Amino acid sequence: MSDAEVITRIENGVGRITLNRPKAIHALNRPMCEAMTEALLAWRGDAAVQSVLIDHAGERGFCAGGDIRMIAESGAGDASEAKAFFLAEYRLNHLMFDYPKPIIAIVDGIVMGGGVGISEPATIRIATERTTYAMPETGIGLFPDVGGGWFLPRLPGQTGVWLALTGARLKAADTVALGIHTHFMSIEGLEDFKDDLFYASRDPKPVADANASNAGPAPLDDYREAIDRLFAFDTVEEIFAALEADGSVWALAQLAILKTKSPQSLKVSLRQIRTGATLNSFAENMAMEYALGGRVVRTHDFQEGVRAVIVDKDNAPKWSPADLSGVTDETLDALFAPSPDNEKWTPLA
């Protein structure tokens, strides 16, 4: 296989993009985003390409996120490199969202953060028994970007809020039940699916439908009522109070998890999701997240979260402010302010 971090080629009418950075679980960097964008733009008007398949090399996972170390190092300075990465990444996300041909993402193994951003816009999203999905950003002082403000509030009930705030990890039975992924296939069945897709060179949905199997019962079903009831509030303080008042083992476990997260990130993420639910286009959401991301990466909590989880790995971040009361509406307003006209995010032409 090529040493390139992204391998692109056309196979019998299917444009194929293979993520090829397995030692980093295909964590996205700017050249990878640009390589994917270049291929998608070339295939967009190519009549020889009927659909696009995104898969990955190796067995550890589809994509563990973005290059967090680089983003943190840039955020410690002027954040210019981080913003350049976000610009390229979010343009790729939007290009996929509006793509005129079906995109298939095989979401096998770990899919988090940036990996969600390059799979959720796909028409067909295939999970396997190895799939582990999460948006764990509140644990590193960030927020669920790459379109999370659009996708998460459009999940059933309040499950998107719960996922964003807690960083909960889901397996395939739950992701398929929630519509995060559209199909379940066993690992053994993936090659048959690919063979059928390349042979058919047509609408991939019937091919996926024919190769899919039942993911099994969804464990989260037992907690959906509680999630919808306890995470329905517009302030994090009210969610905390509701969980404490409920008093069940599950509710108190969620509260304990939330208390380990960045208070600033919890409030930012909830506002992001509630705002995203009101927006009329994916592009509007990406513009919001771009302005927000360029500011959040320069905050204490993001720098501290990356130190604790990624660099030193002591998993003992010291958040500042240390509790919800210290995160004011004025702080949030400043983080969510629109970008100046000359710095706004724009989609690719």
Q: Strand, coil or helix: what is 16? A: strand
13 is catalytic: no
For residues 126 and 113, what is the distance between their CA atoms, to the nearest angstrom?
Answer: 17
114 is catalytic: yes
Classify 134 in phi/psi space as left (phi over 0), alpha (psi -120 to 50) or beta.
beta
For residues 327 and 110, what is the distance between their CA atoms, to the nearest angstrom?
Answer: 32
Candidates 5, 89, 108, 137; catalytic one:
137
What tokens were used for 182? 């559209």
Candidates 66, 109, 276, 293; catalytic one:
66
Candidates 109, 113, 114, 141; catalytic one:
114
Closest by alpha carbon to 137, among 261, 49, 16?
Answer: 261
Candidates 145, 174, 289, 304; catalytic one:
145
Count CB-CB contacts under 10 A for residue 27. Answer: 23
For residues 127 and 106, what is the distance between their CA atoms, to the nearest angstrom?
Answer: 7
Count CB-CB contacts under 10 A for residue 217. Answer: 11
DSSP 8-state assignment for residue 45: T
188 is catalytic: no
66 is catalytic: yes
* Active centre residues (catalytic): 66, 114, 137, 145
